[in-house]
Amino acid sequence: MDRSSFCIHVVALFFPMSLVAQAPELKLDLKSFSSADILLEQGFPLIVNLTLYSTQEFGPERYAEGLPDSLRNDPAALRAIDSLYGRGFSQSFPGPWYEEVLFVKVFQEQVPGNAIRLFPLNPLPPGELRVGLNRPAFADFGVDPQSTAGWAPGRHTLKAGLPFREDTLWSKNLHIEVVRPETSSDDKRRLQAMAHYLMRRGQCDSAAVYGRALLNAEPQNTSNIVLMAEIDECTGKLESSLDLYRRALEAVEKEPVQPSCPPVYLVRKINELQDKLYFNK
């Protein structure tokens, strides 16, 4: 008998099968990146973040406290607990799970509301997933600006649902205050929003139009340089992207007040692209 089989037998002796729990309770959390509520101008893209997580408070290590000292810290014993009682710690979803998410929007408390389409945004999460202790799942979704242009000014409420156990998990409501575009609306802000959104929608050629306009308007702006580098990488223009990441790093290094942390992201991207272009051919 190998050690894994031995541990399963020992764990089964110490723990009654009543510990074979039902799958953990799961919750959905829907929010924006900036706050719990959103102020949205008509015709601007909307991006929201969805988190799927378990309410389980402890994992197999907690059950291992009942084992003899010789097995308590044995990885094979922990795997045996997870094998026998794993449904108590995590829940598996066939993928791609994010395609099963549905959204309902209510305007001015006019229930029941209407189902609306939000698009999964890049980078896409793994298709199949296992949600459990310290193992949440994340996905970002977006609404195209053509859609938000038709949303009436006022208070909108958005919630997400995921089919689960012959029922549906629902998130709490996310409140969106829609306003008309300001007549003096900042063109730069709109260009940034469109470039970021289209890139994450996978429409990188369209994003490049907005990114290039930003860079032409402010060629020394580090944020604009990085954004265009990301767009060029998205479109497969790796040499141009590498040049822009290097340019952004040089700009950061020339700033009179150096950042408290090194520009790790820029260094990592430069190294990644150099490997792709020069070492992985």
Query: What is the per-residue pLDDT across 25-72, written as a single tens digit (0 to 9) for each?
Result: 788 899 887 566 789 999 999 999 998 887 765 455 555 555 566 666
Question: What are the extents of the domains in the chain?
Answer: 3-15+22-83+91-177, 187-279
Tell me the sheet residues that pair with 50: 30, 139
The pLDDT assigned to 189 comes to 87
Closest CA to 164 of 49, 19, 22: 22
What mean pLDDT is predicted for residues 115-135? 79
Residue keyed to tokens 């977006």? 142
Closest CA to 236 of 265, 278, 277: 277
Task: Give the containing element (helix H, strand E) for 118.
Answer: none
CATH topology of domain 3-15+22-83+91-177: Immunoglobulin-like (2.60.40)
The pLDDT assigned to 19 comes to 46
Query: What long-range pairs does 221-224 form, CB within 8 A, spacing at least 24?
Result: 222/248, 222/251, 222/252, 223/192
pLDDT single digits (tens) 163-176: 887 889 899 999 99
Non-local (6+) Cβ contacts of 200 within 8 A are 47, 121, 122, 140, 142
- Cβ contact 214:228 at 8 Å: yes
pLDDT single digits (tens) 146-155: 999 999 999 9
Could you give the CA distance from residue 64 to residue 67 in angstroms, rounded to a whole number?
A: 5
- Cβ contact 92:128 at 8 Å: yes
* Percentage of residues of the chain with pLDDT beyond 70: 71
pTM, two decimals, is: 0.76
CATH topology of domain 187-279: 1.25.40
What mean pLDDT is predicted for residues 259-269? 83
